[in-house]
């Protein structure tokens, strides 16, 4: 857990510094966006993001999720995540294509969910990683936009598997790595002007 906290603190700082050093600093009210991912909403995961312009073609994006809810029948889909990202835009920020370098870290506690073979089991753990992003921002109006993106990442996952959602009998500890798609996003974006 200490490693995860250290990673969260330092990855965000390093990404921010790298972006600021690579381009001249520029931050105006017209260069700030607030966003919400509709696909997370469909999965009942509250989320919010903020993006700010820091250069002629560079932005920093920070998105997070937090779901503390236990559903009826001892079902859990509890999770949290933080996802910092530095983006390079094709022409101008908040318009058209972008590529990015992202980081991610978070935790989860999932029980009695009828997918992923967790009907009676519970898993609890953490993850961290990073990778590349490819996306596009579509302007709807002067204040509103629609953003789509795909992340391809390396993710290190550590979790404990429990026999049932109620009892505390731990079956095993699992540590694994994953490389591949981690996120598809369709976000509604509001530009602050």
Q: Mean pLDDT over all residues of the chain? A: 85
CATH number of 105's domain:
2.40.160.20
Q: Is the dihedral of CA 38, 144, 94, 60 positive or negative?
A: negative
User: Tokens 């990073």 belong to which residue?
Assistant: 130
Count: domains in the chain: 1
CB-count exposure of residue 158 (10 Å: 0-12, 13-18, 19+) = middle
- Cα 122 to Cα 48, 112, 117, 173, 185, distances in angstroms: 27, 7, 10, 12, 27
pLDDT of residue 15: 52
Per-residue pLDDT of the chain (193 residues; tens, 9 = 90+): 555 554 454 555 555 544 444 444 444 445 899 999 999 999 889 999 999 999 999 999 999 999 988 888 778 889 999 999 999 999 889 999 999 999 999 999 988 877 766 677 888 999 999 999 999 999 999 999 999 999 999 999 999 988 876 667 889 999 999 999 999 999 999 998 7
Whether 47 and 41 have beta carbons less than 8 Å apart is answered as yes
Q: How far apart are CA 61 and CA 16, in angstroms?
A: 10
Q: How far apart are CA 58 and CA 182, in angstroms?
A: 23
Structural domain including 81 reads: 2-192
pLDDT of residue 98: 97
End-to-end CA distance of the chain: 40
Q: How much is the pTM? A: 0.78
CB-count exposure of residue 82 (10 Å: 0-12, 13-18, 19+) = middle
CA dihedral 148, 107, 33, 21 (to 10 degrees): -100
């Amino acid at each position: 857990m200490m490693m995860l906290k250290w990673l969260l603190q330092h990855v965000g700082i390093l990404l921010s510094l790298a972006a600021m050093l690579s381009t001249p600093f520029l931050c105006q009210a017209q260069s700030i966006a607030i966003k919400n991912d509709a696909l997370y909403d469909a999965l009942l995961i509250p989320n919010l993001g903020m993006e700010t312009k820091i250069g002629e073609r560079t932005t920093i994006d920070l998105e997070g999720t937090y779901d503390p809810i236990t559903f009826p029948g001892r079902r859990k889909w509890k999770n949290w995540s933080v996802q910092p990202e530095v983006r390079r835009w094709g022409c101008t920020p908040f318009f058209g294509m972008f590529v990015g370098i992202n980081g991610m870290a978070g935790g989860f506690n999932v029980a009695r969910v009828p997918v992923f073979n967790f009907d009676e089991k519970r898993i609890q753990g953490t993850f961290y990683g990073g990778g590349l992003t490819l996306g596009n921002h579509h302007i709807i109006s002067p204040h509103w936009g629609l953003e789509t993106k795909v992340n391809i990442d390396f993710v290190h996952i550590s979790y404990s598997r429990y026999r049932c959602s109620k009892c505390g009998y731990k079956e095993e500890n699992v540590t694994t790595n994953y490389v591949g798609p981690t996120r598809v996003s369709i976000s509604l974006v509001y530009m602050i002007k």
